[in-house]
């Protein structure tokens, strides 16, 4: 039975946080679809399949995280910002900053793949086909994304010299990499189709399969999030062990076994705090202040993200310096461009 100090909806932990998250994530996802469509129109123009010029939307570079990692190391070693894909590097830096300060808020509030994953999960829940992965398998699978991250970090962050980075940066492949990505989806190989169908199908059975077990981007953000000052805290004395928090947690965190949620899996969605029926049992804590409005975290995530965009836009670090005509030339030989 619930104790008397059950809460009513308030602004410290509004009940509509889940709806707000869906709207914010959905907004970003729609924007990405729109940007993808605009890029497709640009591609048609650049490959002489259309006479209508449509400007290339820089935001598609968000889907080039490996190039952004190369760009980050090049920035650190040479001081030069990636001006071929500046938006990609800006979005990557924003995600890293959010990870360090605001948990995996990028995953919880911005990433459209995370949104798609949440939608699949909701459908699977309704269909009652979600499978509870045994702990031994969960832990084994969890290591996969860290292994992938380790591989990328070794190959790029550790092994690539400045000469290698410059070679990659100026290669035709780097200039055409967004078009290569588009072609990957427009005319996928049988193997790619098989892998994508497998990932979609398994996500209906295993909650957030891609995000939880395979995404190296999320793994990196999770490691950074270990240093985040924002933490969900649980008051063991008032907890009534109703497990509502665990049932709602999209990251499958066993909240009732912890006093402080420090894990790199927490995406900062704040749904656990919102559903807890006991006042101040679960709180969003900061050093020196145990109880904060749960709206603070998403507000900070969105502000940080928009701030990076605004600074990049104002200082000329958003649009690529490569003229559309030069891209047109590169795209005309795209089939012959090998991976460097």
- The residues that touch ligand SF4, with contacts defined as CB under 6 A, are 107, 111, 113-114, 211, 215, 217-218, 232, 234, 239-245, 248-251, 253, 255-256, 261, 266-272, 276, 278, 281-282
How far apart are CB 190 and ligand SF4 at their closest, in Å?
24
Strands 282-286 and 231-234: antiparallel
Please identify, using beta-carbon distances, which residue of 213 and 331 lies nearer to ligand SF4: 213
| C-alpha separations of 247 from 169, 276, 334 in Å | 46, 11, 48
Residue 319 Cβ, how far from ligand SF4 at the closest point, in Å? 24
- Burial of 221 by CB count in 10 Å (0-12 exposed, 13-18 middle, 19+ buried)? buried
CA distance 20 to 176: 37
Nearer of residues 83 and 285 to ligand SF4, judged by Cβ = 285
Minimum distance of ligand SF4 from residue 285's CB (angstroms): 12
- As measured in angstroms, the least distance from the Cβ of 220 to ligand SF4 is 9
Cα–Cα distance, 287 to 135 (Å, whole number): 32
Nearer to ligand SF4, 86 or 268 (CB): 268
Contact 104, 221 (CB under 8 A): yes
**Which among 141, 159, 160 is positioned nearest to 203, based on CA atoms?**
141
Q: Which is nearer to ligand SF4, 91 or 215 (CB)?
A: 215
CB of 49 vs ligand SF4, minimal distance in Å: 31
CB of 102 to ligand SF4, least distance (A): 11
Name the residue nearer to ligand SF4 (CB basis): 84 or 281. 281
Q: What is the 3-state secondary structure (H, E, C) of 146-174?
A: HHHHHHHHHHHHHCCCHHHHHHHHCCHHH
Question: Please, which residue, 44 or 202, has the CB nearer to ligand SF4?
Answer: 202
What is the maximum span of the chain, computed from C-alpha positions, in angstroms? Answer: 71
Using CB atoms, what's the residue nearest to ligand SF4?
218
Q: In degrees to the nearest 10, what's the CA dihedral of 80, 82, 87, 90? A: -40
Nearer Cβ to ligand SF4 (46/245): 245
Least separation, in Å, of the C-beta of 142 and ligand SF4? 12
Could you tell me which of 106, 57, 62 has the C-alpha nearest to residue 88? 62
Minimum CB separation from ligand SF4 for residue 308, in Å? 16
Which residue lies nearer to ligand SF4 by CB, 41 or 97? 97
Q: Strand (E) positions, 153-247?
A: 231-234
Do the Cβ atoms of 109 and 298 come closer than 8 Å? yes
The C-alpha atoms of residue 223 and residue 220 are separated, in whole angstroms, by: 5
């Amino acid at each position: 039975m619930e104790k008397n100090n059950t809460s009513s909806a308030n602004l410290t932990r509004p009940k509509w946080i889940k709806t707000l998250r869906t709207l914010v994530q959905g907004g970003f996802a729609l924007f990405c679809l729109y940007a993808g469509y605009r890029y497709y129109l640009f591609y048609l123009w650049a490959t002489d399949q259309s006479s209508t010029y449509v400007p290339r939307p820089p935001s598609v570079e968000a889907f080039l995280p490996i190039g952004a990692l190369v760009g980050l190391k090049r920035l650190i070693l040479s001081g030069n910002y990636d001006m071929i894909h500046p938006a990609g590097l800006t979005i990557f830096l924003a995600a890293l900053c959010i990870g360090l300060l605001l948990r995996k808020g990028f995953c919880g509030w911005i990433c459209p793949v995370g949104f798609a994953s949440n939608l699949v999960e909701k459908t699977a829940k309704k269909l009652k086909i979600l499978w509870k992965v045994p702990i031994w398998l969960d832990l084994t699978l969890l290591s996969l994304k860290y292994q992938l991250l380790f591989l990328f970090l070794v190959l790029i962050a550790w092994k690539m010299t400045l000469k290698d980075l410059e070679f990659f940066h100026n290669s035709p492949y780097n200039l055409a990499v967004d078009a290569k990505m588009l072609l990957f989806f427009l005319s996928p190989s049988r193997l790619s189709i098989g892998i994508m169908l497998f990932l979609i199908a398994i996500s209906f059975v295993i909650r957030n399969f891609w995000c939880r077990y395979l995404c190296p981007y999320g793994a990196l953000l999770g490691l950074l999030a270990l240093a985040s000052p924002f933490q969900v805290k649980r008051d063991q004395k008032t907890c009534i062990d109703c497990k509502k928090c665990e049932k709602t947690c999209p990251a499958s965190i066993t909240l009732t076994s912890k006093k402080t949620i420090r894990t790199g899996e927490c995406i900062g969605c704040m749904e656990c705090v919102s559903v807890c029926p006991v006042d101040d049992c679960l709180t969003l804590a900061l050093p020196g202040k145990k109880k904060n409005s749960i709206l603070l975290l998403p507000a900070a995530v969105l502000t940080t993200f928009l701030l990076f965009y605004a600074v990049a836009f104002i200082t000329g670090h958003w649009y690529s310096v490569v003229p559309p005509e030069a891209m047109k030339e590169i795209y005309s030989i795209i089939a012959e461009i090998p991976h460097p």
